[in-house]
Chains A and B, each alone.
Chain A
Amino acid sequence: MNHEQKTPSVSETVISTAGLARNFGHTQAVKGISFSVAEGEVFGFLGPNGAGKTTTISMLCTLLAPSAGEATVAGFDIRSKRTEVRRSIGLVFQDPTLDEYLTAIQNLRFHAYAYGVPKRVRDERIHELLNLMELWDRRNSSVREFSGGMKRRLEIARGLLHHPRILFLDEPTLGLDPQTRHRIWKYVLDLRRRESLTIFLTTHYMDEAENCDRIAIIDEGEIVALDRPELLKNSLGGDVVTIRVENGEGAVAELFARYELSASIEGDGVCFKLPGAEEFLPGLMRSFSCEILGVTIRRPTLDDVFLSLTGHSIRDDRPATGQQLRRYLNTPGMKSQLN
């Protein structure tokens, strides 16, 4: 599989990695991945639990030192320029990291102080972000009283408070109901338009990955594909068309003779793949010599892409790396290279 980049050449690269790897004991969580992200992109890491998504984000955010390889974030080396990296990024973790005893606005002020956001910008920015996230009315409520979706929105607001160049979102909609997920995405896409922000996110939801400009499909610590979602789907050979006809074998022969399509008989239907099936089918139906009794078109999903690349579905359950990571971090005496 070719992982080489088709990075848009017009804009600047804000994240780039080369052979980035991380081991936990004898387990290789991330096995030397290389990719780059251009300024202003929404870049997604798609993969099942335990694929190495959180580990990769932790390394890029300087919370975990890589075992091997190089990476720069916002132009700064993640090993030698940690403080500069930290200053340039906003981060929303998979698990909540708010102080629930404080109010929404107190949490945001703490963040502003910690990042040294100048006073004249601070209050206006807090107002703007809380408005955007529709939390302004609840600014003086304890975070304890917030729902899961509200907490996530508050964390996104907090991650943006110091005008980061890159926003990292680790499973931003995990555990949220579909309606809230949809809203979170609306905010994220809004933000990208308003702030010319680069967004790096991980997800294991296929439909969310569709919102990304480019996605890297990651499985067992390796990037198995990296491209725009529609190109990945097209790489499977296009839409899957099934037509129902009286004479299946005749239809297969005619499809091959006239259109060079290799079709196959599946059940009582004839199945073939081609891109742009909607445009193709009306013509076919007008001139096909067998009578067509029924047609179905199925667009390939990213799940199909994942399945064809890895041989297993993304929904297969395996221990999450987040959990592995947490176990590892909980081991006393662990040597971390944080500063």
Chain B
Amino acid sequence: MRQSLRGIWVIAYRELLRFSRERSRLASTLGMPIIFMVVFSEGLKRQIGALAVGVDFVKFMYPGIIAMSVFINAIFSGLSVVWDREIGFLKEVLVSPLNRSGVVLGKALGASVIALFQALVMLALAPLFGVPLSLRIVLELIPIVIVLAFSLAGFGLLIGSRMRSQQGFQVLVQMVVFPLTFLAGVFFPVNNVPRWMEIVSKLNPLTYGVDAIRRIFLVGEISAASRNSGHSIIGVTVFGHTTTTIEDVALVGLLGAALLIGAIFSFNRHT
């Protein structure tokens, strides 16, 4: 047990040290969501009217971008394993007395802290995009980001434990992670899209993660009437039932726990 805990913090410590020393990664982590925000919101603001009373496109997309950057950061914990394997550092870890589950959870923790850091930077920029902030939003966002980040890190690490090359991992991210992210309702409400896309989106676990974050920002702004219309821009409506925040987070969290256990198992087996 003590060995696991040490593993978690030692590995997380190194992830953060690495992150802080790689300026390009720091820059891209912060730059990418901001570029998305500026380009999409400025570009589409005039084309797309209010999505609901009082909710323009920028307000709608902003929480989606936070969710997206959390996903990407968390998934990249898997890339860090592949990277460690390539440079040989993974051997230093594997021959140490740290146990494997501690290593996996440490990677997930490191990625979650980085994801949270990025979410908070985005949050600090909210006034620039005209998104109102409150203490409630900040306090609700932190635990939800942590749950989402751990869950997605589980996915990233499960893949990373089996992948041998960074290129392979990058291809997988482009083929699987980006499409899933785009179909998760980051840029449009999933309750009001063509039928096929609605089905894919609602089967996509990321959709519930995006929704959980979006609810924090928009729940007060949307009238009860439009929430019950079946085409609400918050909540994911499945078989007539519109999910709540708790349901969203529980779904992603449970799946994430299963993925993390799978990652630990896979890590034991393949390294």
Contact = CB atoms under 8 A, between A and B. Distances in A.
Interface of A: 61-63, 83, 86-87, 89, 91, 93, 95-102, 106, 110-111, 113-116, 158, 330, 332-336, 338-339
B96 to A, nearest CB: 4
A338 B164 contact: no
A255 B97 CA distance: 63
A336 B270 CA distance: 6
A113 B6 contact: yes
A99 B96 CA distance: 15
By secondary structure, the A interface counts as: loop
A338 B91 contact: no
A337 B139 CA distance: 44
Contacts of B88: 93, 95-98
Nearest to B7: A114
A242 to B, nearest CB: 49
A106 B17 contact: yes
15 contacts: A63-B95, A83-B97, A86-B95, A93-B88, A97-B92, A98-B89, A99-B18, A102-B17, A106-B17, A113-B10, A115-B96, A334-B270, A335-B269, A338-B94, A338-B271
B95 A113 contact: no
Quick one: which of B3, B22, B90, B271 has the most chain A CB within 10 A?
B271
By secondary structure, the B interface counts as: helix
Interface of B: 3, 6-7, 9-10, 13-14, 17-18, 21-22, 87-100, 162, 164, 268-271
A171 B268 CA distance: 28
Given A335-B269, A339-B268, A62 B95 contact: yes
A336 B269 contact: yes
B94 A63 contact: yes
Contacts of B13: 110, 113
Nearest to A86: B97
Given A95-B88, A114-B6, A336-B269, 8 more contacts: A91-B95, A99-B14, A102-B18, A114-B7, A115-B96, A332-B270, A334-B270, A338-B271
Contact of B3 (A61, A83, A101, A106): A83
Contacts of A336: 269-271
Contacts of A97: 87-92
Contact of B10 (A98, A100, A114, A335): A114
Contacts of A95: 88
Contacts of A99: 14, 18, 87, 89
Closest A-B pairs by Cβ, 5 of them? A97-B88, A114-B96, A97-B92, A113-B10, A86-B97
Contacts of A61: 95
Contacts of A335: 269
A97 B94 CA distance: 11
Contacts of B17: 102, 106
A114 B271 contact: no
Nearest to A142: B21
Contacts of B7: 114
Contacts of A333: 270
B160 to A, nearest CB: 13
A335 B18 CA distance: 31
Contacts of B89: 97-99
Nearest to B22: A101
Contacts of B95: 61-63, 86, 89, 91
A100 B18 CA distance: 10
A101 B9 CA distance: 19
B93 A114 contact: yes
Nearest to A87: B97
B271 A86 contact: no
A86 B96 contact: yes
Nearest to A116: B6
A177 to B, nearest CB: 21
